[in-house]
Amino acid sequence: MDNSFMRRWRGPWGQRKTVEAVAVGVALLAAFSVFTASTHRIRKSSLAEASTVASGPFPAIFNFGDSNSDTGSVSAAFGRCPPPNGMTFFGKPSGRYSDGRLIVDFIAEKLGLPYLSAYLDSIATNFSQGANFAASGASIQPVPTMNPIHLGIQLSQFEQFKERAIELYNQGESICAKSSLPRPEDFSKALYTMDIGQNDLHARFTSVTEEQVEASIPGLIDQFSGVIEKLYRQGAKAFWIHNTGPIGCLPYFVINYPPKPNNSDQNGCIKSYNEVAQVFNKQLKDRIYQLKTKFQDASLIYVDIFNAKYSLISEAKEHGFIDPLGHCCGHHGDYIVDCGQKKIVNGTEVYGASCSNPSEYINWDGIHYTEAANHWISHRVWTIHSLILGVGSNSQFTFIQDDEIKQQVRSQILDRK
């Protein structure tokens, strides 16, 4: 896989010759500091936030995934993501590769929970209502050219987090220790969200045939479902699982690997890439239904992110977006300058700047979606799936509207970063 592709997945491992074992060691060492930091350096705002009992049906969220839901793991472990990331909502980089909030942020808002702190972020973090193990560039299976913090490592991080959090909570003698960690009973009552698999397909698209990519999918599903089973056996009961999105519609691929006329769909996307993604999705959906039968006391929700994203791309103009296969930040085409990066082009330094109005675009930087698109997509899937999730089991629960909490959560996240 070429370095330009890896740069788009925010992995310095594509440019720095870092041995996987060293990278994982650094990540785990950073994780170790989370607990010592959280028990001694809790800001007043975080204490107030932690003391508030969630009004919804879930006391916490634990998230696993890649850059679609990374709220600061890679930024903390390998270097802060640069501006203009974060410009729309946070006003500065927030560890997210977008101009603002991600789908997981909007889900947290809907549940009345604060934004998730990245597990690897040791600075002023609070895990009382969940933690985020997602890492940009992560995959289901270990991939040499991708982030070494794959799904198996994320599961190991969660297991360590849970074990040590319960130990520290039970022996905590101060309000600081308890206010920064989940209660032991919250682990079985939490919502477990997952969005991963896209990088496994991408890495293979650039190295093997599409037939070989498709042939690898059963193994990916086996590992994905294996992690779900392990979480269930450790007490998890509620799962919100995203399928993979329309890979063939990402501007990075459409611009840099333009489809042949017979391989372009009505929107200009790479048809064969999306077809392979749908094979992955069909097998994932089938496996989740098998797990539902096997674990009848659990709620496993298969969330059709592919359909939501593809619908938005197909109906972009109807929803106020322009150029559905274009992007707002950085430059692709005759030369490539990543969003927020600088590059010498024909003797002149070029900066990967943002467009003037990110809310007009679906795609932020060629790979990731804008806040406006994430907001639309999250509203779409939440409307369809929230009642199935078990929210209906609590008739007293009402959704908090975005404009009611925007200022509150904005101040919370800025206070933490």
pLDDT for 18: 38
**367: region left, alpha or beta (phi > 0 left; psi from -120 to 50 alpha):** alpha
Sign of CA dihedral 253, 256, 261, 266: positive
For 372, the token pair is 């406006």
Select from 247, 244, 227, 223 the least CA-distant residue to 236: 227
Q: Which residues of 368-388 are buried (b: 16+ CB within 10 A; e: fewer)?
A: bbbbbbbbbbbebbbeeebee
Residue 238's DSSP bridge partners are 191, 299
As a whole number of angstroms, the distance between CA 296 and CA 299 comes to 8
pLDDT for 338: 94
Q: Mark the ranges of the chain whose per-residue pLDDT is less than 50.
A: 1-6, 8-53, 392-417
Please state the pTM of the whole predicted model: 0.84
Q: Where are the domains of the chain?
A: 3-318+373-416
pLDDT for 391: 57
Amino acid (one-letter) located at 383: T
List C-alpha distances in Å: 416 to 111, 147, 155: 20, 25, 25
pLDDT for 112: 94
As a whole number of angstroms, the distance between CA 42 and CA 130 comes to 16
pLDDT for 314: 98
Residue 235 neighbours by CB distance under 10 Å: 13
Dihedral, CA atoms, 360, 271, 70, 158, nearest 10 degrees? 150
Task: Write out pLDDT tens, residues 97-110.
Answer: 999 999 999 999 99
pLDDT for 153: 98
- 185 three-state secondary structure: coil
**Catalytic residue positions, numbered:** 67, 365, 368
**Fold of domain 3-318+373-416:** Rossmann fold (3.40.50)
Backbone angles phi, psi at 120, to 5 degrees: -85, -5
Task: Write out pLDDT tens, residues 81-92.
Answer: 999 999 999 999
Host H or E run for residue 61: strand 61-65
Beta strand 348-351 with 342-345 is antiparallel
